[in-house]
Structure 1
Amino acid sequence: MDFSNKYVVVTGGTGALGAAVVAGLLRGGAHCIVPYRAELEAQRFAHRGDPNVTMIAVGDLADETQVARVYASPGAAPLWASIHIAGGFAPGNVADTDKAALMTQLNGNLVSCFLCCRAAVNAMRAGRQGGRVVNVASRQALEWRSGAGMAAYTIAKSGVATLTTTLAEEVVREGILVNAVAPSIMDTGANRAAMPQADFNAWPKVEEVAATILFLASPENKVTRGAVVPVYGKV
């Protein structure tokens, strides 16, 4: 897919899925703006030092000031696409989840996504060229009962799905298409270590999930909006 001369923000870009998305964007000719939290993750990032990658240290994407700094960076304008992969997972039954744990999931997954969507849409409006927003929800956001035992995470990701569909309606007439993907368990080193007895072949590969994200973020996507696309693999 052709992203020549397109500027794209990728939150969570230093993670397994994010790195696969950034790789695809770079192959297509994009310039990527990648916020990161920890210096160690930046040092391990395969695309660090690429002339078409701008890395920005950000402590908390649930902080409006820090999000504004990402989207005001010189490399972020004119913005074509914003892909929101940053988030976190923690299991927990409702009875065992206190307010602090709930807010951690809401801030890390939903509030951060909301603020990045807001900043992205405003940047795209300023550029007057339309654009694309792609969020990352989860299977639990579409199949609520599967979220038993991970209630706070499921609530947060369900909010991301709702945000996606409502925002899509708000901005479509401006040429901005908003969509999301909903992965199941992805085949990453961390997930293999956490679930060594699982059937890894059934899990979607990060490159496969990235391919769906890249299409939704691309100029080739001319009609898809408000979708929360299942990317479950064989699970």
Structure 2
Amino acid sequence: MGRLRGRNIALTGGTGALGRVVAKRLTDEGAKVHIPAIESEVDKTALGLGEAVSITTGIDLSDEQAVKEFYAKLPPLWASIHIAGGFAFAPISETDAATLRQQFEMNAVSAYLCCKEAAANMKAGKAGGRLVNVSARPALEPRVGANITAYTMAKAGIAALTTALAEELKDERIAVNAVAPSIIDTPANREAMSGADFSTWVTPGAIAELMLSLCDPDAASVSGAVVPIYGWV
């Protein structure tokens, strides 16, 4: 049953539109998925998440102690995927320091803390592992980040974290990679950009397949990559 049979995988952002698709693909491949959710209550059935998914509620991923406690209670991990984040659309003239800090907390800081604690878990198990972050197209092509500079800076931080950490953890056989999507075809994005051509956007399913490939036990030679996945935009 699947290339991830019996393996434990942490998945942040797992209750969101992309995260639910990723969770399903992971469990289809036999993984047991552990989701930290900021919500106080989550209805797994309503979200279409099966029995192989466990959810811990009330977790703020920018809170160092909360992240440490979440990962400390998990069984030995094979992978940790970090989808959770936030977005702010505004030119720099309308973006204050509080918004900038918020973008870093929601995106770069949360990814950093989860990588740190997941790596500690994997090192203890001495079996290697996989860390997968989510950057974004503007991190690789900063000119695309006009009018979303705070978000662009935060996602660029994730790209840098990924490359640096891959080098740091190579002796532990922990591969560290990231995906860098453009606009994702989610209900929220369709509502926000109702006049767009949705057929050009990258689908959650395509991103899920890429993440799955980066978690594959046979993908050990891939580390330090920030992989563009743009659809047809």
TM range (shorter): over 0.9
1:182 and 1:42 mapped to 2: Cα distance? 29
The answer on 1:180 being equivalent to 2:182 is no
Structure 1 residue runs without a partner (length 5+): none
Contact 2:173-2:220 at 8 Å conserved across structures:
no
Of residues 34-43 and 106-115 in structure 1, the stretch that sits farther from structure 2 once superposed is 34-43
**Percent identity (aligned):** 47
The answer on 1:154 being equivalent to 2:152 is yes
Residue of structure 2 in register with 1:81 after alignment? 79
Amino acid at match of 1:71: Y
Contact 1:14-1:42 at 8 Å conserved across structures:
no
Structure 2 residue runs without a partner (length 5+): none
The answer on 1:210 being equivalent to 2:180 is no
1:220 and 1:26 mapped to 2: Cα distance? 18
Residue of structure 1 in register with 2:129 after alignment? 131
Cα distance, 1:153–1:41 mapped onto 2, change above 3 Å: farther
SS of the residue corresponding to residue 79 of structure 1 reads coil
1:173 and 1:62 mapped to 2: Cα distance? 28
Residue of structure 1 in register with 2:28 after alignment? 27
| CA apart distance, 1:45 | 2.1
Amino acid at match of 1:78: P
1:59 and 1:26 mapped to 2: Cα distance? 22
The total of aligned residue pairs comes to 231
Contact 1:36-1:42 at 8 Å conserved across structures:
no
* Mapping of residues 39-50 of structure 1, within 5 Å: 39=40, 42=43, 44-47=46-49, 50=50
1:108 and 1:138 mapped to 2: Cα distance? 14
Amino acid at match of 1:54: S
2:40 and 2:23 mapped to 1: Cα distance? 18
| CA apart distance, 1:5 | 0.9
Contact 1:32-1:53 at 8 Å conserved across structures:
yes
**Normalising to structure 2: TM-score of the pair?**
0.96
Contact 2:42-2:57 at 8 Å conserved across structures:
no
Structural RMSD (CA) = 1.2
| CA apart distance, 1:222 | 2.1
1:115 and 1:106 mapped to 2: Cα distance? 12
| CA apart distance, 1:39 | 4.1
Contact 1:169-1:226 at 8 Å conserved across structures:
yes
